[in-house]
Chains A and B, each alone.
Chain A
Amino acid sequence: MKKEKRNILQELFIENANVTEELLKSFCNTLLSFSKGSNELETYVRKTIELENKQDSIREEIINKMFGKDVMVFSREDRLKIIQDLDLIGDIAERTARRINTYKPKQDLEIFNGLEWISNKLFKLSEELKLLVVNIFEDFDEAKKNISNINLIRSEIRDKEYELLKRIYCIKLELYDFMFLNDVIKLTASIANTIEEFSDSATILICKYTL
């Protein structure tokens, strides 16, 4: 298939998707560092925040260009939806990273292994998300596969989320530890949920623009 030439606005969309993937991977490293008690936690938190700011500036640039001459065929509402959804994913990741950095709870092996497992899954999810955005522009058939993979991974994360929540309710944790881990588990899972919601929007977009 001959590859179509992208214009500046489309390149910005792809760049936004790349930065979102980087941001999510940085968050995954934050979660991993937290789970393993690594000293690099602060570094990854800072990096996540920086990437979120970068994502915001790309978003602003896209919005400015959308009302300029270099306009894509698909509607402004649909374009805005894509960048707002990616921005939301980045926001939640940044908030969660900050939350992780506020407190150090007592170690529970099962919970921390669970968080490490979620982090690895989120890593894959971030790659699928980036590919989804690229394939919306380049190949609808591949985009449908990305959507399917995202749904599958999100479902697995949800199962693990409830497993971990059950655990923190069952073992007798101190109040602050309980509140902290409850927040981290739910916020981390909400990143996956938001990515899945984005994939639902992508499905609607593909249906709308194919004949």
Chain B
Amino acid sequence: MDFALIFLIFLVLFFSFSLASNDVTMSPVIGSRALSIKSAVIFGGILSFIGCYFFSAGVGKTVGQNLINPSVNYDIPMMLAVVLSTSIWLIIASFTGAPISSTHSVVGSVFGVCIVWAIDSSSSFLDSLNWTVLGNVVLNWIISPMIAFILGYVFQWILKNFLKKFYTNLLKIESIEKFSILFLIITVVWMQISRSGNDSGKVVGFFFALTQSGDIQSNLVNFLIALAGITAALGLILVGKNVLKTVEGSIIGMRPTDAISVALSITITITLYTALGLPISASHTVIFAMFGASRMKGERPEKKSYHKMIKSWFLTFPIAAGLAALFYSIFLIFQI
């Protein structure tokens, strides 16, 4: 194995670690006091590993193999450019507080390196990508938040109308909410596994790409996926608790029943797309599920934050593409 390959694998594993360190999937069980932060991150770490190891392959193959045409030699410098641009854009966006999509970032980066590849190899850019797959992926970036919004609205409506007649005194409310904690934990377990499966697909995609380019043997893929799962678990356990502590303050006192409608809509949306092998933005799914549930209660999102989010959503793809193109160009110039 040469140095560049080892460096790429290390960077990809670090990417897996950093993705998981910003994962707030377990926040509903902390906010409703179902679990402590310590228990939640350890439990979440185990679930992240399960999601990554068993459920990331479908999305991984879409991102790592099916998106790019076989005519393109998707080599190590290209992958390095994609990982670097995604990671850097994630860090920049985190500093500004904008919730961006790592999925949009990865796919945008792949788009960017393909443009440079086409110029460098004097080939047609149109032949570099599988436009059907890309079109499908981009279309579902628009459809998936809409599905999450609708599901969030519907579940909140069902829960509200079903529970109304039972909320007649504090004792009853308490026993219903306590029972709901169990259901919430089950839902969040499912959510963590499916989100981890979909998120890790972006990481695992690199390993599938490396097998396609012949840089690694296919029998190594499972081992690398397991390593990615372990680094994801560590990311959540070691660093993720700090993010969850920050989020905890804003969601403390959340009723389990409120959290369930949101968690269910997120889980169903992400599970559906993970099963279809399509990478979606978990962040946008979470946000739009919460919008749907809030809208049902007659609440509207704060305009400034909403516009900031939409702006960063549209900017991610071109900026990631631009950064990846820049890095790949540098690698080509210096023949890395």
Residues of A within 8 A of B (CB): 1, 3-6, 10, 71-75, 135-141, 143, 209-211
Please give, as numbers and ranges, the residues of chain B lying within 8 Å of A74 by CB-CB distance.
Answer: 170, 173-174
Please give, as numbers and ranges, the residues of chain A lying within 8 Å of B33 by CB-CB distance.
Answer: 71
Please give, as numbers and ranges, the residues of chain B lying within 8 Å of A75 by CB-CB distance.
Answer: 253
B169 adjacent to A137 (CB under 8 Å): yes
Contact-residue size bin, chain B (C-beta under 8 Å from the other chain): 10 to 19
Name B297's closest neighbour in chain A (CB-CB).
A211
Is the CB of B308 closer than 8 A to any CB of chain A? Answer: no
Is the CB of B171 closer than 8 A to any CB of chain A? Answer: yes
- New contact pairs (13) apart from A3-B171, A5-B171, A73-B173, CB-CB < 8 Å: A4-B169, A4-B172, A4-B175, A10-B171, A71-B33, A73-B178, A73-B255, A136-B169, A137-B170, A138-B169, A210-B167, A211-B160, A211-B164
B173 adjacent to A139 (CB under 8 Å): no
Q: How far is the CA of A39 from the CA of B122 in the complex (A)?
A: 112
Q: How far is the CA of A3 from the CA of B172 in the complex (A)?
A: 9
Contact with A along B146-169 (1 / 0, CB 8 A): 000000000000001001100111
Q: How far is the CA of A176 from the CA of B224 in the complex (A)?
A: 91
Q: How far is the CA of A137 from the CA of B167 in the complex (A)?
A: 11
Q: How far is the CA of A72 from the CA of B169 in the complex (A)?
A: 13
Please give, as numbers and ranges, the residues of chain B lying within 8 Å of A210 by CB-CB distance.
Answer: 164, 167
Please give, as numbers and ranges, the residues of chain B lying within 8 Å of A5 by CB-CB distance.
Answer: 171
A141 adjacent to B255 (CB under 8 Å): no
B163 adjacent to A137 (CB under 8 Å): no
Please name the 9 residue pairs, one residue from A and one from B, whose CB atoms are nearest each other, closest first: A4-B171, A73-B174, A73-B177, A137-B170, A211-B164, A138-B169, A137-B171, A211-B167, A210-B167
Please give, as numbers and ranges, the residues of chain A lying within 8 Å of B160 by CB-CB distance.
Answer: 211
B168 adjacent to A209 (CB under 8 Å): no
A6 adjacent to B167 (CB under 8 Å): no
| Residue from A10, A71, A72, A139 in contact with B168 in the complex, judged by beta carbons closer than 8 Å | A139
Q: Known contacts being A4-B175, A211-B164, is A135 close to B253, with CB within 8 Å?
A: no
Q: Which of A1, A71, A137, A141 gathers the greatest number of chain B CB atoms within 10 Å? A: A137
CB within 8 Å of A: which B84-114 residues: none
A140 adjacent to B171 (CB under 8 Å): no
Contact with A along B14-35 (1 / 0, CB 8 A): 0000000000000000000100
Please give, as numbers and ranges, the residues of chain A lying within 8 Å of B178 by CB-CB distance.
Answer: 73
CB distance from B179 to the nearest CB of A (A): 11
Please give, as numbers and ranges, the residues of chain A lying within 8 Å of B168 by CB-CB distance.
Answer: 1, 139-141
Please give, as numbers and ranges, the residues of chain A lying within 8 Å of B167 by CB-CB distance.
Answer: 209-211
Name A74's closest neighbour in chain B (CB-CB).
B170
Contact with A along B242-257 (1 / 0, CB 8 A): 0000000000010100
Name B33's closest neighbour in chain A (CB-CB).
A71
A138 adjacent to B171 (CB under 8 Å): yes
Please give, as numbers and ranges, the residues of chain A lying within 8 Å of B164 by CB-CB distance.
Answer: 210-211
Name A210's closest neighbour in chain B (CB-CB).
B167
Name B257's closest neighbour in chain A (CB-CB).
A211
Please give, as numbers and ranges, the residues of chain A lying within 8 Å of B174 by CB-CB distance.
Answer: 4, 72-74
